[in-house]
């Protein structure tokens, strides 16, 4: 298992940028899939971006071209670089690790985009 802690959320103006960080309690080099999900008020949690240990990525259509996920195995950290933010990006963002079909989650970090 692994513990995950997100940071970097905050309040930004539409069109601005934020970089979220997810620090893991152990090495992430052997974790095949790590990613970011988000949950907006009154909505279900949805996938934002995932990245495999081999380097492949997948993004939700709504964030393609604006968000970038990366993994730093040396620092046991996963990042989500968010640019050209829109009000509809407002949500709590959660870090996720999938290990042998079990999901592990961080506590979440709030991102609010004002218009």
Q: What is the pLDDT of residues 87-107, one digit of tens each?
A: 999 999 999 999 988 999 999
**Could you give the C-alpha distances from 76 to 13, 23, 28, 73, 90, in angstroms and in order?**
30, 6, 6, 5, 26
* Cβ–Cβ under 8 Å, residues 22 and 50: no
User: What pLDDT does residue 8 have?
Assistant: 98
Segment 8-57, tens digit of pLDDT: 999 999 999 999 999 999 999 989 999 999 999 999 999 999 999 999 99
**Angle at alpha carbon of residue 100, lines to 96 and 105, rounded to 5°:** 20
Residue 30, helix vs strand vs coil? coil
SS3 state at 69:
strand
């Amino acid at each position: 298992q692994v513990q995950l802690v997100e940071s970097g959320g905050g309040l930004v103006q539409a069109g601005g940028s934020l970089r979220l960080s997810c620090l893991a309690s152990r090495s992430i080099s052997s974790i095949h899939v790590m990613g970011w999900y988000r949950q907006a008020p009154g909505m279900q949690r949805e996938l934002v971006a995932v990245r495999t240990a081999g380097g492949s990525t997948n993004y939700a259509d709504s964030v393609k071209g604006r968000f970038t996920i990366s993994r730093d195995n040396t620092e046991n950290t996963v990042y989500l670089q968010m640019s050209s933010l829109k009000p509809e990006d407002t949500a709590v963002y959660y870090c996720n690790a999938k290990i042998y079909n079990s999901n592990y989650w961080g506590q979440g970090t709030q991102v609010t985009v004002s218009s």
